[in-house]
Structures are given as C-alpha cells and as structure tokens.
Amino acid sequence: MTRRKTHRFLQNAESTNVIEVGKPLYKTIRGRWRQDYFKNDHKIVLELACGKGEYTVGLAQAFPNINFIGVDIKGDRIARGSQTAQKLGLENVAFLRTDINFLTEFFELAEVDEIWITFPDPQPRPRQEKHRLTHPRFLAIYKSLLSPNGTLHLKTDSPSLFAYSLEKVREFGFVNLQFTTDLYNSQLNDIHLGIKTKYEAMFYNLGFTINYLQCKTGAI
C-alpha cells in the first residue's frame, strides 16, 4: 500500500461523514440514516460507484435540504469526496464504503428516494453482464430500496451499456422512462445541473456524447 493510500484510509477512519467497517453506525445504520446520521426527515439520494464523490458533492451543494450518500468500495476514492465535503462545510453528505452487492444490508425497504449511477464500468464482455450496474439483479435491489415513485438515473458515455440499460429497465417494470443519447443538447440537460466528473468533462471535450436516462419505480 502506498503512503498516500495509507493517509487517505486514516482520513476515513477519522471522518464522521464516512461509514465503514469498524465504526458503530456501520452495523446499525440500516433504516436509520435520517434519525442517526442526518438528524432530519429530508429525502435521501444515493450515488452508486461514486468514486471521488464529485457528483455527490455537487448535488449536495445544489440541494442543501436533501441528504446525499456516495457509495463505493474504494476507500482512497471516498476519502477525496469526504475531505471535499468537509472543507465545504456540507452536513448533508455521507459516504458509505461497501460493495453495491450489499446495499440491502445498509438501507431499509423504500428508505431511498433517488439513485444516481454515474459513469459505471460498462463491463462490455458478455461474460461480464452480471456485473453491469443495470443488470436485473441490481435493478431488483434498487426497486426494493426506492420509495414509491422513486427515481433511478443513469449517465454513461458507453452506447452499448446505455442500450442494454434501456432494455432492462423497460423489462423490469420501471415507468415514466425519459432518455437521450446527447444529454447536453437535449431538453433533459437541466436535470444534471451542469455537474461533470473529471472523466465526464474529459470525454465530453473529446467530442463524446453523454447518454442519460431516468425512470421511476411507479406507485405501489
């Protein structure tokens, strides 16, 4: 392990906005994010595979009355988002260090209002399909955690992943689907508030278009 990673792991251990193994809330937070962490009744929004938390932090700045949680397994990445949020004085941000496969261990049924999936690994090979974050096994998790009429968002620069995702959300019964293959030149552009991750900005400046979809769970 490099000295830099060691430093970031120590930062996580000392940061109150990081929930990870070894901290008391790690085993008790399920169903209690509002009561035990945020201390309010505001909506909860997740960013999955959040990386450095650029989108989580950007949304939290834009919507101070909504709670945002970035989820990622990489501690060194989460540390960057955690430290940025602290420097900005954002109290509506948390980071959860866990594998997305284990989301149901940390969130109760219908506890979440929105989920963002921003530029996930497209896992392009057929044998990698089960690892795509819009595979039916993940969609089942999202649908169980989202509130009635909860919203799922996806942004990706991968046309193949986007086509796959459109097919799967339709098959899985998500409703009110809206999508575009060129976000920044579409009527849906305002939804993302101009927030770009480092790699999104790089790809966009190279001429790649950004694919976006949003859909809802529907009423129960």
What is the Cα–Cα distance from 188 to 38, expressed in whole angstroms?
A: 30
Residues assigned a catalytic role: 121
Token readout for 82 is: 């955690």
CA distances from 132 to 49, 70, 137, 167 (A): 11, 18, 9, 13
What is the Cα–Cα distance from 106 to 30, expressed in whole angstroms?
A: 4
Neighbours of 41 (CB within 10 A): 8
CA distances from 115 to 101, 143, 160 (A): 15, 10, 21
Q: Which H or E run contains 153?
A: strand 146-156
Q: Which H or E run contains 5?
A: helix 3-14
- Residue 40: DSSP 8-state: S
